[in-house]
Amino acid sequence: MRTIQVGNQTIGIKGTVLTSFYYKQAFGRSLLGDLYSMESLQKDHSKFDELLLLQFTWALAKTYNGPGKGFPDFETWLTQLEQVDFSDQGTWQAVLFEIKDGLFPRSQRPGPKGSGNHKHKNRR
């Protein structure tokens, strides 16, 4: 769980398998598939899709809010943001880290011995 600042809003985000469900339900696409598609950005910045970042954030915020609780649909949620700074790399990195931390727990990630137990400093 983390909190991020998007425009004038402080938003709680939480990544779990429920995040993938909400994302697929709302957008008809795989969250992980869209996440992996962002890897091509390192080679070609023209493929940047700012809506993906906002869709990720919406699904994480809905998960943070909890199942069964009222949460606005994506379009309504967007109208509440007023302004968004896509140049704020810290915010968008936190969104991507939350997805990875929620869906790929570090203790189960492959990697060098001893690398699985540290936590990202913004993680609560």
Residue pLDDT, tens place only, 44-66: 777 778 899 999 999 999 999 99
What is the percentage of the chain residues whose pLDDT exceeds 90?
58
- Dist. CA 124–CA 110, nearest whole Å: 23
Q: What pLDDT score was predicted for residue 23?
A: 97
Q: Is 75 exposed, middle or buried (0-12, 13-18, 19+ CB in 10 A)?
A: exposed
Q: What is the value of pTM for the model shown?
A: 0.81
- Dist. CA 31–CA 23, nearest whole Å: 6
Maximum alpha-carbon separation in the chain = 46
Q: What pLDDT score was predicted for residue 41?
A: 73
Which segment, 2-11, 12-21, 37-46, 80-89, is predicted with the most confidence on average?
12-21
CB 91 within 8 A of CB 77: no
Q: If you search the block for the tokens 């709680």, which residue do you land on? A: 12
Q: What is the pLDDT of residues 76-98, one digit of tens each?
A: 999 999 889 988 989 999 999 99
